[in-house]
Amino acid sequence: MDQNTRFLTETVLRISGVDPRKCMKCGKCSGTCPNYDAMEYHPHQFVSMVENGLIEQLMNSNAVYLCLGCMACVERCPRHVAPGKLVGALAQLKLRKQDGNHKGGNDIAAMADEKVPQQLLMAAMRKYRK
């Protein structure tokens, strides 16, 4: 593992509070994930890939934005691993990089129709840009 990868891995583990070594690779998270089919990488892969330092690969995938944040995997994980927290942390890490914004403020406004609740707009602001 090179320096950068090690740093990224440690950061992800620190800010997510997840210990991937607790995982017993049962696949419960991916069995329960409601948006499994849309995501390029699946919850159990996040755990295993972070442990193996495949951080960049995950950060460059659409999967970090397709997680619904519903915490079903967090709640149901029998090993207290909480894969969803890893996904969230990776999305954060991506934002913190230079040019890490997924969408600008204007893009977000443009996507919204008049019925979109404020909460959702605010959430998008938080999730997609610095």
Partner 1 sequence: MIYSYYPGCTLKDRARQLDLYARASAAALGLELKELTQWQCCGAVYPAASDDIASRLSAVRALMNTEEKKLVTMCSACHHVLKRTNFDWKQDATFRTRATNYLQPEVPYDGSVEVVHFLELLRDEIGFDELKKKVVNPLTGRKIGAFYGCLLLRPSKVLSFDDPENPTIMENFIRALGAEPVSYPYRNECCGAYVAMEDQKSAQTQVERALNSAVAAGCEELITACPLCMYNLVENATVHRLPVKYFTELLAEALGVKEA
Partner 2 sequence: MPKIGVFVCWCGSNIAGTVDVEAVSEAMKTVPGVVFSTNYQYMCSAAGQKMIADAIHEYHLDGIVVASCSPRMHENTFRKTAQAAGLNPYMVEIANIREQCSWIHKDKEEGTRKAIVLAKAAVAKLLHNQPLQAGTSAVTKRCLVIGGGIAGIQTALDVANAGYEVDIVEQRPTIGGRMAQLDKTFPTLDCSACILTPKMVEAAQNEKIRIISYAKVEKVEGFVGNFRATIRKKARFIDENKCTGCSLCMQKCPSKKGRDEFNMEMNNRPAIYIPFAQAIPNVAVIDPEQCIKLKSGKCGLCEKVCSAGAINYQQKDELLEREYGAIVVATGFRPMDPSPLNELGYAENKDVITSLELERLMNAAGPTKGTLLRPSDLKHPREIVFIQCVGSRCDENTNRGKPYCSKICCMYTAKHAMLIRDKYPDTNVHVFYIDVRTPGKNFDEFYRRAVEQYGVDYIKGMVGKVAREGDKLMVRGSDLINNRQVEIAADLVVLATAIEPDPSARSIGTMLTASMDTNDFFTEAHAKLRPVESPTAGIFLSGVAQGPKDVPETVAQASAAASKVIGLLAKDHLVTNPCVALSDELLCNGCSQCEKVCPYGAITYENREVRGPGVREVRRVARVNPAVCQGCGACTVTCPSGAMDLKGFTNQQIMAEVDAICL
Q: 26 or 112, CB closer to partner 2?
A: 26
Which residue in the set 22, 96, 126, 130 belongs to the binding site for partner 2 (CB under 8 A)? 22
CA–chain centroid gap for 4, Å, is 19
Number of residues that bind partner 1 (CB under 8 A): 42
Beta carbons within 8 Å of 47's beta carbon, 6+ residues apart? 18, 20, 23, 29, 81, 83, 86
The per-type count for the chain, helices as H runs and strands as E runs, is: 9, 0
Does residue 18 sit in helix, strand or coil?
A: coil
Select from partner 2, partner 1, none the partner in contact with residue 55, using the beta carbon and a kind-dependent cut-off of 5 to 8 Å: none
Which residue in the set 8, 12, 18, 33 belongs to the binding site for partner 2 (CB under 8 A)? 33
Q: Which of these segments, 6-14, 35-43, 60-68, 103-111, binds partner 2 (CB under 8 A)?
A: 35-43
**Any contact of residue 77 with partner 2 (CB under 8 A)?**
yes
**Any contact of residue 40 with partner 1 (CB under 8 A)?**
no
Q: Any idea which residue has 């495949």 for tokens?
A: 54
**Any contact of residue 24 with partner 2 (CB under 8 A)?**
yes
**Any contact of residue 64 with partner 2 (CB under 8 A)?**
no
Nearest alpha carbon to residue 6 among 57, 53, 59: 53
Phi-psi region at 128: left, alpha or beta (left = phi > 0; alpha = psi -120 to 50): alpha
Q: Where on the chain is the footprint of partner 1 (CB under 8 A)? A: 14-17, 34-35, 37-38, 65-72, 74-75, 85, 87-89, 91-93, 108, 111-113, 115-120, 122-128
